[in-house]
Each structure stands twice: as C-alpha cells, then as structure tokens.
Amino acid sequence: MQLLRNQAYINGQWVSADTNCVFPVHNPANDSVVTDVPDMDAGDAKKAIETASTAFETWKNTTQKERSYILRKWYDVCRENTDYLAEIITAESGKPLSEAKGEVAYGNSFLEWFADTARHINGEVLTSPWPNKQIMVTRHPVGVVSVITPWNFPFAMITRKVGALMAAGCTCVIKPSEDTPLAALAAAELAEQAGVPKGVINVVTTSRKNAPEVGKIMCEHPNIRCISFTGSTHVGKILYGMAAKGVKRVALELGGNAPFIVFSSADIENALNQAMLAKFRNNGQACVGANRFLIHEDVYDKFVAGFKEYIGNKCILGPGTKEGVTCGPLINDMQAQKVSGLVNDAIKHGAKPLIGGKFSNIGNKFYESTLLVDVKPNMAIYGEEIFGPVAVCLKFKTEDEVVKIANNTNSGLAAYVFTRELGQAFRMSRRLEFGMVAINDGILSAAEPPFGGIKESGIGREGSKHGIEEYTDIKYTLFSGLDIIQDVDDSFFEKFGSILKQVSQKAALEESTPLAPLKEVEEQDEQQSDVTDLQGERSPVRDSDSGNETLLDTDSEPEDPEKIDLYVEAVGWNCSKKGFAVRLWVHTSPVRWRRFAKIESAECRISRPEQCSVARNSSVHDQLTLDSAIITSVIVL
C-alpha cells in the first residue's frame, strides 16, 4: 500500500523505538498482520516532547498567513491521496472502503477550515474604565499539545485536532490508538510533503502494554501544556486526573449515550433513513451514534416495523474491501465481546431481538445488525454506551417523560429529535442536556459548528472557530500612564531651537522643491524616493550608539550642522495648521539632504506649548510651536 509507513515520526525523521521493539497492526476483517510498527516507551515519548518543544519556539512566531498556507497545502496533498488514505483506513479499522473515503473527506474538511480560520485569530481592544489607560486582549499559542486519538476515525480525529492546534501556533506529539496507528503515520507523511516543518508534528506508536506509561508522560511532562483526547469516558477521567497535577489545559471528547427521539408528528420515512445513518455508520462505532431510540407510542409500531425492514435490507455485513458492504467488523475481540455481552444480558432479562442478536458466520468480529425491543431499565444495555450495531427501541407517552428518560444519563454529547412542530423542536433543543442537538437529521458533525459535549461527555469544543481557542491562552495587557506628561525644562527648548536653526541653515544651502500637501504625502509616503533614501539609513541608525538616544538624552551643545546627530525631515505641509509634518531621527554621520524644508524664522525660537509629551525610543504625536508655524507629528526614531 502506498503511504504505508512502519516507523514512528519524530523531528521529521522516520525512527524505530530505542528498544527496537515492535508490535503488529491487524486487519480486523481477517486478523492478518498489515505491518509491524515501533513499540515505543516513555523514553521515546520524552524525546518527541522535547523535539516538539524546540519546534514550538520557531512555529509560534510564524505568521498566521504562513500557517494558513501550510495547512492548505496539507489539505491539498491529502485530497490528492484520498484513495491511498482510504485503503489504509480500511485495512486497519475494517470499515467499508466507501466509508473510509468519506472519513478522509470529512477529516480533510477540518484542514481546509482551519487553513482559513488561522488567518482570523483576533484579539480585542476593550473599553477602559480609566481615562488614562488602555485594555488590550490577545491570544497566544498554549504550547506543546499531547494528542491522543481513538481507533474509530483514525484519520479524521488527527486532522480535527492537529489542524486547529497548528493554526493556533502550537506543536504536538500524537499517540494514535494501538489498533489504528497507520492512518496517523500516513497523515504525517503527507504533512511532510506539504512542508510542515520538522518537529511540529510527531507521531509516537505504542502497544497496549506500553500505552499507560506513554500516556502518563504525555500528560505529566512539564513541557506539555495541553492534552487533547478523544476516547472513552473511563480513560478520559484517568488522563484528566494526571493533567490536573500540572494544572494543564485539557480538551476531552468522551463517550456518549445519544437519544434518538421520534414524536408522533415526525416524518417517519425521514426518521427511518436518518436512524440508519445515526446508528449504523461505522457499524455503530461512533461516539455520536444513536444509542437509545425513544419512540412515541402513537408511531412506535410503525417505526419499529420499518426499522426492522431497513436493517434487513440495508445492513450488508462483510469485509470493508468487498463491494456493496455497508457494515464491517468490530475493531477487536474486546469490543466484540462487549457488544455480545450487552445483548445477551438484555435477552436474559426479557428483551426481544427482532433481527440479529448474534455473531455472523463470516468471522469472530462480525456481529449482526440487531434491533431489540422490550428493553427495561434494569438491563445493562439500557444505560451503557453500546458502541456497536445494536439498536434499542423504547416507548414514551409525553414530552416531559421523554425528556426525563433522555436526560437520565451521565453523558451529554449528542441528541436527535424528529418532529414537525416548530415549538416542540425549540423546546427540546432547550430542555435536552446535550452539547449537540440535531432536529430532523441523523448526521450533525462538520468542520463549521462546535463539536463537543457536556457532563461526562467532555470538556471543550472541536471544529468551528472555538476549536482554535482550545489551543490558545488569553493575555490581558494594561497600558497605563498614557496621559503622563514628562517635565521638560527650558534648556530643552533652547537646545531644540538651536538644532532646528542649524538644520534650517543647512537646508537653505541646498536646492529644495515645494512640499506636497500633508494628505498627499501620507498617501504616497512609501513611494517617495527622497523618503526612501532616508529610510534606507534607519537600520544602521538603530544599531549605532547615537541611534539609541533621543533628543532628551543629548547633553552637549549642538555641533556643526555637518556633524550633528539630529536631523529634521519635513515630509509634508499641513495647510490647515500652517505647519510642517516632520520626522526627527538620529545618526552619527551626515546624510544626503533632499527636500528639507526652510524654516522661516531667523531666531528659530520655540515657545513652550501647554503640553508636550516626549517618549524615549518611541513615536510621539504632539505640537511644538515655532514662531507662527506648528511642527506636527513629531516622530522620534
């Protein structure tokens, strides 16, 4: 298979584990070994984290435009390799090839989205409660992120997280599921082709045996500032506890127990079509998959009969590479036994399978698509997330009753509601305790809306503009003393006047052309050759000794005009105020004089204005009265 990689990816290099240990990646459809990959431990993970830390110092300083460009290139390369990526996804996860291609398109949509969103990470300037202070709020990349991804969407969960964190200016270490590491390695290969710098993305592969120690260091290492995890609630709580020791940011997308509610006013045909998508996509192995079908008693029999027919006709079980297959195997033996155990327990306590309810003779991970009725609260399947191809149907009478049943869970990820009553749709959206609610639809995930849950279903959001915010820190900066007036004694004005006099005398010796109006100069400033000539001298000015001094720091009397350190450049004439717009700048040697203004004053006497603010090494805008003229927009470089 093209794009198949069997080494880990650290600092832009394909590497083996320090111990040279490997573990096999199996195809769940036939248990064959696809390839072996490095079985890395905590030491390998530490190296990856340190690499990401070094890369962060550079990546965080790239422009948002540059990050956007690189993400877009990654998107383009992934799109061009859709078929190769889908082949790898099917080989390691077992899902049908058509679904694998759909996952690539879905995952790629996040790269496209964050390539655009990267250019719109903005701050705020807030209204200040104080007259002499300014409040500014900016966002900054949080740092190195640990990315721990699941096996059910091995490519899309990479791009949804990494696209966002890269856009924010972060770097990462990825630990994919031991069942499906190959899609992550392929994504890293394509990222390298797209020009992602070394160390920005690192992929550490590890077996189930070493996963605890690798996960521990990825949560507790001092250089890790955020942990982004998608997976079970049980594992999420463990990672959350380890992250708490270092008070680290967490972004957790955990288990769900989604209700699929059908009211009597619903379009039953649409509800059935959407039920197939919500339940049997990826063979039921989706966190937002419908787990409990709550059907109003008036349409219960009609819905259940139609659902049974749909399952029998549309759920085609088999290897993902076989044409026409819609449901592949469960990911591993553990998941297969869990699903089988929940169904057997329900049947033991009185539930009835209208279809399915057992393993297929195709293989030990192929479980038949199942529809259960007569399910009661005392059955384990009533409250647990099934994560398999089993639909559980329950009956309800009133809106209040179904809201109570739906909300009676520690999970709060997704919910589905089918009704034609607009008021009821709004009420259900408000009353259901879930992070996402779909009305009359069975698919709700996309790059544009915020994906995530409440209660024990997670913390934070992925996708949308909020997906980037998870990987940024907010910084509040207070600028104070903006109205402070620095006292300037009379000697300053005498000195300044003397310098202006010498400058004007020097300028008078040279040919000068009439100055353009100030507005015109402001519009064409960068295009004026004379200004450009002077701008070319600024770099050495900043590096010189005198370039670090301002007018206030000039202690000695002005020297000869050919040797003085301060020059005045008149860049425009303010007709309304009858004054010059000038630039003051410092240099250690004479520069070429062009378009300098004559100052029409024999004495060049400066009268002290009512207020004069002068800042060291910064730009200040003020007015200095020079006889009858006003010099405006004084800039101290």
Query: Containing H/E element for 629?
Result: strand 629-632
DSSP at 129: S
Residue from 92, 103, 253, 462 carrying the catalytic annotation: 253
Q: How far apart are CA 260 and CA 292, in angstroms?
A: 6
Expressed in angstroms, the distance from the first to the final Cα of the chain is 61
Spatial contact of 182 and 36, defined as CB atoms under 8 Å apart: no
Measure Cα distances from 489 to 39, 184, 482, 554, 624 in Å.
74, 68, 21, 13, 14
Q: How far apart are CA 80 and CA 78, in angstroms?
A: 5
Spatial contact of 434 and 454, defined as CB atoms under 8 Å apart: yes
Q: How far apart are CA 457 and CA 415, in angstroms?
A: 12
Reduced DSSP (H G I as helix, E B as strand, rest coil) percent helix, strand, coil of the chain, to 5: 40, 20, 40
Strand partners, 393: 293
Spatial contact of 163 and 111, defined as CB atoms under 8 Å apart: yes
**In this structure, how many other beta carbons lie within 10 angstroms of the beta carbon of residue 631?**
24
Is 253 catalytic? The answer is: yes
**Residue 448: what residue type?**
E
The DSSP line for 185-229 is: HHHHHHHHHTTPPTTTEEE----TTTHHHHHHHHHH-TTEEEEEE
CA atoms within 13 A on the CB side of 179: 20
Would you name the residues annotated as active-site residues? 253
